[in-house]
């Protein structure tokens, strides 16, 4: 029995030997075919990640070198690659390899070139980078110098920045380097990316410029406008001016300022219901010495250290009929043509027109500005491009605005009388020189001041 089992086992083994040989031969053949199909290749690794395969690392190195030379020729200064490129030997099918003529385009997407540049830091934050240190330092000094000039009779005591400003060398991406002109614009305006504004009902270029703290000419230039005509829904590019640096100038000065005259009212029971001027009045003069702090050319603080009276003011005398009604007081019947007084007398440098809903009355800094009518002060203080500004509500929908004031004599909520000194003429905010920007508004819309002034 045992001999029979052994015989059966041997017969089975003889049948299995040919099958095993066939399997072994197929496996060896497959391995040989795969080895023959695959070839030695180079994996290109950028910043730790495998990007593609090539036949030779030398092709990659030559292409990178040529790219660097070409870019340096375009920008005019030395560059260095900003990525870590490594190579690893692998086996790969030839169909998976990147061809030499494809390398430049592929590497352009995978690697960046940096420059050793000079960066201007403001309060520890990088704001702009330039090619070299000299250019960066010159730009900082140029900006400082723009606001370092003094007015007549002033002496500059100290000039510097409100912020901490540093110039440091660092490696930055090529697309982060600005020209000197771009860098200066960025520091001066605060942005290279202008915002957009949609024209609304009642808008004009002057109002849009005021709201966005910019100039009419800047808006026209940015939008290639040949006129000041706008259409509802029109999209405009505006640039909000928010300097990245604040130049602080400490000055001492001496000047002659006006002493505002007072207004006296005499009631004449026998006179008709009109108002006439018996005495025009005139401002006095005083010589003052002062210390002031200017920020980007605008007075932020001023302290008078001494003053001397040169000429006393002469009071303005008004004669009122017994039945005169104060047209401009609250609860009155409103303002009619010719009943508002001039806030100040002087040449008109800008008339009421499209884009400028006011008249600009020029004069000397410090000249008294007077309320055109009785009413209540609804706004008094700094108002962006308007500078120091006062707004008076005269009742029945009418109000007046006095902008670019040198100083303010009233506060919000205060009741003022017609002819009362409310401020002094100046050139604060967005102003090209000393003047009073005078607006008259009815129910929120401006009207020509000349149609309501006496």
- DSSP for 152-166, please give it: TTEEEEEEEESS-EE
Q: Does residue 293 form part of some domain?
A: no
Report which listed range, 32-46, 200-214, 344-358, 401-415, is most confident: 401-415
Q: Within this chain, do residues 353 and 375 fall inside the same structural domain, yes or no?
A: yes
Q: When comparing pLDDT for 444 and 173, which is higher?
A: 173
pLDDT in the model for residue 124: 94
What residues does 266 pair with on adjacent strands? Answer: 319
Q: Within this chain, do residues 444 and 397 fall inside the same structural domain, yes or no?
A: yes
Q: H or E segment at 32?
A: helix 2-37
Q: Does residue 290 form part of some domain?
A: no
Q: Shortest CA distance to 400 belongs to which of 440, 442, 357, 444? A: 440
Last residue of a domain, one of 52, 83, 111: 111
Last residue of a domain, one of 111, 126, 150: 111
Q: Within this chain, do residues 23 and 47 fall inside the same structural domain, yes or no?
A: no
pLDDT in the model for residue 154: 92
Question: Of 2-16, 78-92, 302-316, 378-392, which gets the smallest average pLDDT?
Answer: 2-16
Q: Is the pLDDT of residue 18 over 70?
A: no
pLDDT in the model for residue 10: 47
Question: Of 3-17, 247-261, 379-393, which gets the smallest average pLDDT?
Answer: 3-17
Q: When comparing pLDDT for 390 and 261, which is higher?
A: 390
Calculate mean pLDDT across residues 398-426: 91
CA 237, 240, 241, 243 torsion-angle sign: negative
Residues 127-148 have pLDDT tens digits of 999 988 999 999 999 999 988 8
pLDDT in the model for residue 281: 80
Q: Within this chain, do residues 27 and 68 fall inside the same structural domain, yes or no?
A: no
Calculate mean pLDDT across residues 274-288: 81
Q: Within this chain, do residues 394 and 440 fall inside the same structural domain, yes or no?
A: yes
Q: Does residue 81 form part of some domain?
A: yes
Q: Within this chain, do residues 357 and 453 fall inside the same structural domain, yes or no?
A: yes
Q: How far apart are CA 120 and CA 129, in angstroms?
A: 6
Q: Is the pLDDT of residue 253 over 90?
A: yes
Q: Within this chain, do residues 340 and 454 fall inside the same structural domain, yes or no?
A: yes
Pairing mode of beta strands 316-321, 263-268: parallel
Calculate mean pLDDT across residues 154-176: 91
Q: Within this chain, do residues 8 and 84 fall inside the same structural domain, yes or no?
A: no
Supply the CATH number for residue 369's domain.
2.70.70.10
pLDDT in the model for residue 274: 56
First to last CA, the chain: 143
Token look-up 């592929």 returns 106
The CA-atom distances, in angstroms, between 73 and each of 109, 131, 219, 281 are: 20, 14, 36, 73
Tell me which residue range forms the domain holding 376: 325-454
Q: Is the pLDDT of residue 357 over 80?
A: yes
Residues 419-442 have pLDDT tens digits of 899 999 999 888 888 999 999 987
3-state secondary structure of 357: coil
CA 327, 333, 334, 335 torsion-angle sign: negative
Q: Is the pLDDT of residue 157 over 60?
A: yes
Is there a contact between 327 and 336 (Cβ–Cβ < 8 Å)? yes
Q: Does residue 78 form part of some domain?
A: yes
Q: Does residue 58 form part of some domain?
A: yes
Q: Does residue 283 form part of some domain?
A: no
Left (φ > 0), alpha (ψ -120 to 50) or beta: where does 193 sit? beta
Q: Is the pLDDT of residue 239 over 80?
A: no
Q: H or E segment at 188?
A: helix 180-189
Q: What token pair was written down for 200?
A: 């609304």
How many domains, the chain? 4
Q: Within this chain, do residues 435 and 335 fall inside the same structural domain, yes or no?
A: yes
pLDDT in the model for residue 330: 32
Q: Within this chain, do residues 25 and 79 fall inside the same structural domain, yes or no?
A: no
**Which are the contacts of 20, defined by CB distance < 8 A and separation ≥ 6?**
none
Q: Where are the beta strands (DSSP E) in 78-178?
A: 80-81, 85-93, 113-122, 125-130, 154-161, 165-173
Residues 64-75 have pLDDT tens digits of 888 888 887 777
Calculate mean pLDDT across residues 200-228: 77
The CA-atom distances, in angstroms, between 42 and each of 49, 50, 82, 98, 367 are: 14, 10, 21, 10, 82
Query: Mean pLDDT, the chain, as a whole number?
Result: 81
pLDDT in the model for residue 334: 46
Q: How confident is the model at residue 198 (pLDDT cuts 50, 70, 90)?
A: very high
Is there a contact between 147 and 158 (Cβ–Cβ < 8 Å)? no
Q: How far apart are CA 77 and CA 131, in angstroms?
A: 8
pLDDT in the model for residue 445: 82
Count of Cβ atoms closer than 10 Å to residue 98 Cβ: 19
Last residue of a domain, one of 82, 111, 140: 111
Supply the CATH number for residue 205's domain.
3.10.350.10
Q: What is the DSSP letter of 189?
A: H
pLDDT in the model for residue 261: 75
Q: Within this chain, do residues 446 and 388 fall inside the same structural domain, yes or no?
A: yes
Percent of the chain past pLDDT 70, that is, above it, reads 85
pLDDT in the model for residue 331: 34
Q: Is the pLDDT of residue 310 over 80?
A: yes
Question: Of 15-24, 272-281, 445-454, which gets the smallest average pLDDT?
Answer: 15-24
pLDDT in the model for residue 414: 87
Q: Within this chain, do residues 85 and 56 fall inside the same structural domain, yes or no?
A: yes
Q: Does residue 440 form part of some domain?
A: yes
Q: How far apart are CA 258 and CA 366, in angstroms?
A: 6
Q: Does residue 436 form part of some domain?
A: yes
Q: Shortest CA distance to 257 belongs to which of 236, 294, 292, 285? A: 285
């Amino acid at each position: 029995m045992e001999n029979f089992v052994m015989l059966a086992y041997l017969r089975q083994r003889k049948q299995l030997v040919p099958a095993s040989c066939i399997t072994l031969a197929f496996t060896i053949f497959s391995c040989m075919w795969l080895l023959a199909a695959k070839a030695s290749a180079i994996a290109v690794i950028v910043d730790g990640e495998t990007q593609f395969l090539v036949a030779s690392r030398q092709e990659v190195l030559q292409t990178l070198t040529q790219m660097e030379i070409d870019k340096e020729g375009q920008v005019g200064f030395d560059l260095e690659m900003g990525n870590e490129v490594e190579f690893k030997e692998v086996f790969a099918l030839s169909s998976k390899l990147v061809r030499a003529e494809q390398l430049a385009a592929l590497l352009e997407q995978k690697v960046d070139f940096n420059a050793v540049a000079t960066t201007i830091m403001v309060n520890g934050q990088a704001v702009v980078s330039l090619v070299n240190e000299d250019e960066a330092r010159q730009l900082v000094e140029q900006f400082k110098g723009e606001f370092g000039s003094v007015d007549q009779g002033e002496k500059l005591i100290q000039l510097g920045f409100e912020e901490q400003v540093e110039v440091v060398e660092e490696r930055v991406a090529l697309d982060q380097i600005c020209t000197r002109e771009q860098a200066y614009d960025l520091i001066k305006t605060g942005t290279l990316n202008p915002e957009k504004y949609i024209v609304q009902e009642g808008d004009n270029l002057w109002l849009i410029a005021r709201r966005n703290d910019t100039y009419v000419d800047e808006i026209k230039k940015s939008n290639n406008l040949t006129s000041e005509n706008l259409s509802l829904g029109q999209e405009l590019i505006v640039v909000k001016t928010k300097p990245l640096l604040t130049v602080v100038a400490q000055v001492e000065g001496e000047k002659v300022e006006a002493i505002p005259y007072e207004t006296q009212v005499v009631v004449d029971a026998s006179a008709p219901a009109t108002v006439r001027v018996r005495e025009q009045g005139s401002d006095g003069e005083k010589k003052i010495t002062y210390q002031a702090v200017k920020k980007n050319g605008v007075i932020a603080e001023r302290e008078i250290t001494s003053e001397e009276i040169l000429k006393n003011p002469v009071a303005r005398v008004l004669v009122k009929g017994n039945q005169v009604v104060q047209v401009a007081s609250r609860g009155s019947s409103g303002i009619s043509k010719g009943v508002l007084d001039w806030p100040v007398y002087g040449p008109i440098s800008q008339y009421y027109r499209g884009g400028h809903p006011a008249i600009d009355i020029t004069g000397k800094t410090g000249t008294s500005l007077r309320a055109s009518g009785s009413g209540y002060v609804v706004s008094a203080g700094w108002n962006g491009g308007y500078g120091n500004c006062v707004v008076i509500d005269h009742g029945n929908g009418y109000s007046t605005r006095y902008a670019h004031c040198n100083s303010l004599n009233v506060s919000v909520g205060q009741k003022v009388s017609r002819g009362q000194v409310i401020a002094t003429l100046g050139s604060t905010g967005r102003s090209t020189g000393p003047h009073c920007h005078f607006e008259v508004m009815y129910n929120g819309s401006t009207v020509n001041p000349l149609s309501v002034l006496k």
